[in-house]
């Protein structure tokens, strides 16, 4: 109880500190908020919102009869018989759709909390439109780099799922019928609208925190300290952008692209950051999974191992094909 109260006090003090900084420099941080909203409007909303609607309808109406690939996934990852379908939808849609789908399945009684926790280890993944379109083509100006990152992210998700498969799934095969609901379209549109606004809120919060940390010099000092420890002052920009990427991947990768390192190194670092997802994506996922009572520590551990695997998988791919 005492530890909980102390942690609350620390959070309150940090929030008050951010509020004071915001008041002292309202123009700078207003621009930060507008920048986040602009990226959300132009890059996230057009791609993610339709997928929120379509996948929600698919989940609501599907019978989830096990196919051949679902049966393989059942044996390999010890998850319900529609694990492959959710994995596939997660790849197509990207962050944070995997968490949203898993939350929807749990709400409809189609999976249990423990099964949801296990599925998060391989269904939390970035989508091809963001990786190839935004990162590869628009930022790195390289379709090949985007494709390598996408392949590495898919492989890392599959390998990551094997790490967390230890809890055996023993429930017998079931075929779930789609729940009939006369208001399914209106419910879906409302739910999807609230979800996409939630994504926007976390993006704004992440951009704001990054700019506060930059302006008070904390991120710079951390980057300098790492450079000093590893005796690599020439890599200050790379380390700084990577730290930013741990908070918000899009902004971090944009900063990374402005450094002088080679495309191979940029691709490897960006891939690891995308595999991890960043604090912003983590908070978005946790907001959807809140009702499932999956611990933050569990999801953070899953994303850390996925990011590490993704980085390691990308190294040979980048060295060979770029």
pLDDT tens for each residue of 214-263: 888 889 999 999 999 999 988 999 999 999 999 999 889 999 999 999 99
Q: Round to whole Å and give the CA distance between 158 and 146.
A: 19
The pTM (predicted TM-score) of the whole model is 0.85
pLDDT over 80 (residue 179) = no
Q: 């962050």: which residue's tokens?
A: 95
Q: How many CB atoms sit inside 10 A of residue 204's CB?
A: 19
Q: Round to whole Å and give the CA distance between 226 and 219.
A: 11
pLDDT over 90 (residue 144) = yes
Q: Round to whole Å and give the CA distance between 246 and 252.
A: 7
Domain ranges of the chain: 2-321
Q: Round to whole Å and give the CA distance between 270 and 258.
A: 13
Confidence of residue 9 (pLDDT cuts 50, 70, 90): confident
Cβ-based neighbours of 48, under 8 Å, separated by 6 or more: 93, 94, 97, 196, 199
pLDDT the model gives residue 173? 42
pLDDT the model gives residue 169? 46
pLDDT the model gives residue 293? 77
Nearest CA among 125, 92, 107, 119 for reference residue 60: 107
Q: Which two tokens stand for residue 74?
A: 């059942």
pLDDT over 60 (residue 298) = yes
CA atoms within 13 A on the CB side of 155: 18
Is residue 129 a contact partner of residue 94, using CB atoms and an 8 Å limit? yes
- For the chain, give the percent of residues with pLDDT over 90: 34
- For the chain, give the percent of residues with pLDDT over 70: 90
The larger pLDDT score, comparing residue 196 to residue 244, is at 244
Chain-centroid distance of CA 278 in Å reads 6
């Amino acid at each position: 109880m005492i530890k909980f109260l102390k942690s609350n006090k620390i959070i309150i003090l940090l929030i008050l500190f951010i509020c004071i900084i915001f008041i002292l420099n309202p123009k700078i941080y207003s621009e930060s908020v507008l920048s986040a909203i602009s990226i959300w409007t132009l890059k996230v909303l057009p791609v993610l919102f339709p997928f929120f609607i379509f996948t929600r309808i698919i989940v609501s109406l599907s019978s989830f009869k096990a196919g051949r690939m679902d049966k393989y996934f059942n044996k390999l990852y010890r998850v319900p018989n529609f694990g492959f379908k959710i994995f596939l939808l997660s790849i197509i849609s990207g962050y944070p759709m995997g968490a949203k789908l898993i939350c929807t399945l749990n709400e409809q009684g189609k999976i249990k909390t423990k099964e949801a926790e296990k599925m998060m280890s391989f269904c939390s993944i970035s989508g091809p439109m963001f990786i190839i379109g935004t990162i590869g083509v628009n930022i790195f100006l390289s379709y090949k780099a985007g494709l390598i990152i996408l392949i590495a992210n898919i492989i890392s998700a599959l390998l990551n799922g094997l790490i967390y498969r230890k809890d055996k799934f023993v429930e017998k095969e079931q075929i779930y019928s789609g729940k009939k609901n006369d208001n399914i379209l209106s419910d879906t549109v409302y739910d999807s609208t609230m979800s996409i606004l939630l994504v926007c809120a976390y993006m704004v919060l992440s951009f704001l925190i990054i700019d506060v940390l930059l302006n008070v010099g904390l991120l710079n000092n951390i980057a300098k300290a790492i450079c000093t420890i590893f005796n690599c002052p020439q890599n200050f920009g790379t380390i700084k952008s990577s730290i930013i990427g741990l908070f918000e991947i899009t902004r971090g990768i944009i900063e990374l692209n402005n450094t002088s390192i080679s495309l191979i190194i940029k691709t490897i670092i960006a891939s690891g950051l995308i595999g991890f997802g960043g604090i912003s994506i983590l908070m978005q996922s946790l907001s959807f999974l809140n009702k499932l009572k999956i611990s933050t520590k569990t999801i953070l551990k899953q994303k850390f191992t996925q990011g590490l695997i993704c980085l390691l998988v990308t190294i040979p791919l980048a060295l060979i094909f770029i």
